[in-house]
Amino acid sequence: MTTQQDPRDPEAPEGVDLERPNVARVYDWFLGGSANWAIDREFGSQVLKQFPEVKTFARVGRDFLARGVGYLARQGITQFLDIGSGVPTVGNVHQIASAVNPDSRVVYVDIEPVAVAHSQLLLEREGLLGRHAVLQGDVRDPADIWKRALETGVLDPRQPIGLCLVGLLYFLGPDEPVHEIVQRYLDFLPPGSYFLSSHLTEDGVTRKEGDNRENVQELYKKTSAPFHLRSRAEFTAFFDGLELVEPGIDWMATWHLDEATSRASDRFADDPTFTGGLGGLGRKP
């Protein structure tokens, strides 16, 4: 696998690792974005050979985020903390929320320098940097992220916040205190806040002939962040102490599908288990 930079690629921000595929940049490529390098595209092509549905799966996850944020905005939530926000693509949190309430505010957080740099550039071009903010940070350090998020002045800790950890927690391994990390964030949130999250699982997943998703998991061990599956019970435990919004923990492909503006999930409406993706939304009393 070559690490030579493609001449069409933008200049890499400081700190960008081009020695290994990066999961945020690969996800961007799956979604049709341009904030990726040759090494990411080569890796993404390998994944597609093993599991051709992966681009549609990526869109299903993005659509789940959009439906969750739209739902929260309609419940009156006007401020969001999106951790693991990734590289900006169509349907960013601030765009979805602002379509419902123009006063909405978002703090984006990601560990990947490309995601942070492109997020800042997008907000600058739209004249929105200041009303929204972008931070580079590691989800494993809740106290640091919460402190710096509040220091931006974007979030009011006295008012409910929509915390988004979508497409992120499965990049934290079984040897890490994931439940404690999530609980720490929930402890910081004011009453009336919401927690939106998703996860990959094997529980109840329909398998088809030629389904090589195990090979995909092996391939991801070569990236900046291998992924790990968890059971439905393990994912549900992240919402302990919260009031689950109906229909509770559900397949991402069908969670509040009636509110969808993109129809990527329709492909799996008859068998949402095939996507292997669970989603949920909980409210802090």
**Chunked mean pLDDT (size 10), the chain, 285 residues:** 40 67 88 86 92 86 94 97 86 92 96 89 92 97 98 98 97 95 98 97 77 83 88 97 97 83 64 87 98
**pLDDT for the residue numbered 210:** 63
Range of the domain at 135: 54-209+228-284
Residue 234 lies in a domain: yes
Residue 10 lies in a domain: no
Residue 132 lies in a domain: yes
Residue 4 lies in a domain: no
Number of structural domains (the chain) is: 1
HEC profile for 219-269? HHHHCCCCCCCCCHHHHHHCCCCCEECCCCCEECCCCCHHHCCCCHHHHHC
**pLDDT for the residue numbered 264:** 59
Residue 19 lies in a domain: no
44-59 residues labelled b (16+ CB within 10 A) or e (exposed): beebeebbebbbebbb
Could you tell me if 12 and 117 are in contact, meaning their C-beta atoms sit under 8 angstroms apart? no
Q: Of 101, 44, 40, 29, which is closest to residue 69 (Cα–Cα)?
A: 101
The domain that holds 76 is classified in CATH as 3.40.50.150
Residue 21 lies in a domain: no
For the whole model, what pTM was predicted?
Answer: 0.89
Contacts by 41-46, CB closer than 8 A, 24 or more apart: 41/6, 42/1, 42/2, 43/1, 43/219, 43/222, 43/223, 46/219
Residue 195 lies in a domain: yes
Calculate Rg over the CA atoms of the chain: 18
Residue 263 lies in a domain: yes
